[in-house]
Structure 1
């Protein structure tokens, strides 16, 4: 059977008259009758009870009719659906992100994009920056929120755009403050207190730019980091701080991650700035990705740069 035959069946079922159905379809009655007969042979059951004076649906035809109408409605909607996909108003956006973005830029981007394009499915994957770039290089995903790798050059054919830059702050065990183990100055953590404290940080292999930013701060303050534990999830790092294992230098937006036993303090010395941006393959500009990038350009909350790379 084909769509034409299904339309013929619905026309006869709705008019219960072959002549009027043929007129509605813009064809003559004989080919319409032949089409219905061929459809009935294919189905192995009659669709209509015919007499010289009347046409009526068989019980089988009556039960089948709403399924055919629903199928034809779907066919009629295909052209409109194709337009929505072509314009990026439907489809799928595959977005990966570093864990730090979960507390800063990610909620804003997802909420705004969903509001603008509610029919687009957003597939989110959390991964470190290096894994995101590797996945994109292998053709997996469309766009990633990463911490740029210092002076490292992205693979050929990639584009990068800065989203936000924020200072690092200290996440410290509250018990250390209450016991006097850590001394604060006007609510800030002085450099000597940072240097003398054990550190919890991402492993360098997973986040080299973040690791270097943190350890570079120690060096700038005249000391070196005493790393007692590595963790690749920001939630895990904060949990270890809560347990009193050490302090962590984290993005200021992590204040949104409230945890019992943890206090967030600004640094007394000039705080290093952590940059977060998006990366994508230039040769994979899908309609949904194009709309995502244009949305970012329109957000006054973001200080965006021109694409690079």
Structure 2
């Protein structure tokens, strides 16, 4: 038996009228009758009793009807699931991200809205450095990545639709709230030569450290490193405790405390870009998130 035969059987069983069933299926009556006969021949039973006045199910037809409904319902559910997977509405979304990327309000709002709109998508968040996230995207181990620049050289050569700028933020000086320089409106790196810095751990190979190295070199400054830490939250805590000062993306000010003051840097190029990285053939779930992020105005 085939799917068409089962569809014809259900239509006749529900209408109990070949003419109405044929119209419902957009068929003429002879092909419909042929489909029913073919099904009866295949099952080796009569499914309908019919005469000039009426059509009714035989006991065999009544027994077969609920199973026929199950077949049609399962096929419809399967087709719907296939469409939803292809459309990115169900499935899995693996997101790589660098340390401070999720401090961005725009990114957090986009992911939260995506969760609400597509609850059947399982989101997995994987933290790594920008360099490692880039490799993970290229290897297909994550569906996309949200990372701070600068990008590694390998990603700099990617086409624009694979490395989308989500936002560009100012870099700020984070100081203890009672620091003498906290009274200033803005600061330049050249004024910080006597300060001790708290930075993200060098061994992590963070993109933020790469950017700061460039800025320090341009300012002719060799920073004195007081402490290194693996977490942005810890870095801010150390600043608040008076261990040193730090250079951070503007987004982290959303997690400010009364112990830390933030002042903008006036140096040229004292800004950091946030990127959305995608593989050459992004998954449907990744395409959905990209659309959400662009609609959110984050790009």
TM score, norm. by length of structure 1:
0.66
Q: Secondary structure at the match of 1:264?
A: strand
Pair 1:73-2:111 in alignment: no
Instruction: Supply the distance in 1 between the matched residues of 2:34 and 2:181 (Cα, whole angstroms).
Output: 96
> Are 2:98 and 1:98 equivalent residues in the alignment?
yes
Aligned position for 1:230: 229
Shift of 1:275: 2.4
How far off its partner does 1:68 sit?
Answer: 3.8
Structure 2: how far apart are the matches of 1:193 and 1:208? 25
The verdict on how the C-alpha distance between 1:195 and 1:38 changes in structure 2, with shifts beyond 3 A counting, is: farther
Question: What residue number does 1:141 align with?
Answer: 142
Query: Post-superposition shift, 1:280?
Result: 3.3
Structure whose residues are more often helix by fraction:
2
Q: How many residues align?
A: 283
* Structure 1 Cα separation of the partners of residues 263 and 169 of structure 2: 12
Aligned partners of 1:198 and 1:247 also within 8 Å: yes
Distance of aligned partners of 1:240 and 1:7 in 2 relative to their CA distance in 1, 3 Å threshold? farther
Tell me the equivalent position of 2:11.
Answer: 11
| TM, length-normalised to structure 2 | 0.67
| CA shift digits 1:122-162 (9 cap, x unpaired) | 84533321111111221233433323346x52169733344
Greater mean deviation of Cα atoms: 29-38 or 4-13: 29-38
Residues 205-238 of structure 1, C-alpha deviations (whole Å, 9 max, x = no match):
434431133355556374523241321x323433
Distance in 2 between the 1:195 and 1:14 partners? 85
Distance 1:32 1:75, change over 3 A: farther
Relative to structure 1, the CA distance from residue 78 to residue 255 in structure 2 (aligned partners, 3 Å threshold; closer, same or farther) is: closer
Do structure 1's residue 265 and structure 2's residue 279 form an aligned pair?
no
Shift of 1:35: 0.3
- On the 8 A contact 1:18/1:33 being kept in 2, the answer is no
Over 3 Å counting, the alpha-carbon distance change for 1:226 and 1:132 in structure 2 is: same
Q: State the match for 1:38 in structure 2.
A: 42
| TM-aligned CA deviation for residue 34 of structure 1 | 4.0
User: CA separation in 2, counterparts of 1:206 and 1:47?
Assistant: 74
Distance across 1 between alignment mates of 2:271 and 2:88 = 36
**What SS does the aligned partner of 1:140 have?**
coil
Q: Structure 1: any 5+ residue segments left out of the alignment?
A: 303-309
Aligned to 1:256: 254
In structure 1, the partner of 2:33 is 29
Cα 1:71–1:208 shift into 2, 3 Å: closer
Gaps of 5+ in 2: none
Corresponding residue for 2:132?
131
